Homo-oligomer: A and B are copies of this chain.
């Protein structure tokens, strides 16, 4: 089968790779209906993460179950399924509290099975995969694919930031996660949603997803703008969807005392100043989003066409053209690239 492998920063190839196989009774094999390139794939692509050996890529997936191990009971061949980027047993004490990405038996997809390929192995299939009511219409496939990571991650950020009715929400980051954080905030009933973006196509999508205000300034100037819009105090809830020193500083500074920051940008060389955090009086919560917790709800909203998160895919390419997809995202020509295996 064909699959994407990163050899070095900037060097992405599509190759013939071994077919995945059931290794444990709890595994499933799925045939990808669609996969995509993640903002976090750009860290090694740009050299910010090391590429020590050729890395099979991809951890976002939606597709048809082809085969299941003897211990799998909740999904079966022929079903259309969505899963998260961490496989989880969904039964341990940590999973039961909704933190499946910290499951005591978790396995990172990409390591266990790379998703930018025609087929993949999913470990812990019963705990990881959620089936749709029936095989969906083709136009819904990008929406379900978005649920696998970026929608679920934006949703977790909104929940971690305690978004709810009557709240003012600020969103730091205009990538797919930030944009879907806007969508989550709208769905969770926020009164006002301030998207921070200076890119016109992303501003448009943010407004379409429910943003009520756009702030183009960044850093301390961005914080000042948020305060100017919030009676000098800051937003109740701030979604951080970048993961840099500047974005965390911007998120904490934009939050009112007693407010909540939900951070989901994969942190890169970030250190938080203890004094700044102490006197900010904010609540801070985040980390790898436990997408699995939200999948049943998100699948329901998509199945009933209440939300169309697949709108973040503004470029679609055949899997074999993955290298062009990486380049388009790296140069911000595309928000998010969908690959058809």
Residues of A within 8 A of B (CB): 93-94, 97-99, 101-102, 104, 231-233, 243, 248, 256-258, 263, 266-275, 277-288
Contact = CB atoms under 8 A, between A and B. Distances in A.
Given A99-B258, A284-B283, A94 B274 contact: no
Nearest to A276: B267
Contacts of A98: 258
A270 B282 CA distance: 17
A266 B104 CA distance: 34
Contact of A288 (B271, B279, B283): B279
Contacts of A267: 274-275, 277-278
B279 A287 contact: yes
Given A102-B258, A258-B102, A283-B285, A272 B266 contact: no
Q: Is the interface of A mostly helix, strand, loop or mixed?
A: mixed
Contact of A93 (B233, B272, B275): B233
A89 to B, nearest CB: 14
Given A94-B233, A94-B257, A256-B94, A102 B272 contact: no
- Shortest beta-carbon contacts, A-B, top 9: A270-B274, A102-B257, A267-B274, A99-B258, A272-B272, A284-B284, A281-B287, A283-B285, A271-B271
A274 B246 CA distance: 12
Contacts of A248: 274
A287 B256 CA distance: 13
Contacts of A243: 274
A99 B256 CA distance: 10
A281 B288 contact: yes
Nearest to A103: B257
A271 B275 CA distance: 8
Given A94-B256, A99-B258, A271-B272, 14 more contacts: A93-B231, A94-B258, A98-B258, A99-B281, A102-B258, A104-B232, A104-B233, A243-B274, A271-B271, A272-B272, A272-B274, A281-B287, A282-B285, A284-B284
